[in-house]
Structure 1
Amino acid sequence: EHDDHGRIIIHLDVAEDDIGRVIGRDGRIATAMRSLIKVAAIREDVRVGLEIGD
């Protein structure tokens, strides 16, 4: 999906019981996922965001 600014939004749907595992302690796993997405986005010259939810 694209937002109003042309950024690609990736929605990661996670079961309610697993949200804590996906986000990780102090958000470390979520931050790592966003970092990997950012590297790929820079290589492709696009803007990408990650939304985690159910």
Structure 2
Amino acid sequence: MPTVTQQKCACDDCVCIVEIKDAVMKDGRNYCSSACATGHPDGAGCGHSGCACDG
């Protein structure tokens, strides 16, 4: 069986794919950045090219 090494960021508005080993883990979910993991409290996006998430 293949091993999954990547998945979509758990932030609903984010389009990033994150390496599970490098993900920011919060509440058992994998995020691409601390901004996504904390729900964008200051309105900032994740900062990755091509992604416009901001909570």
Q: What range is the shorter-chain TM-score in?
A: under 0.3
Higher helix share: 1
Q: Which one has a bigger Cα radius of gyration?
A: 1
> Quick one: higher RCO (CA 8 Å, sep 6+), 1 or 2?
1
TM-score, with length taken from structure 1: 0.28
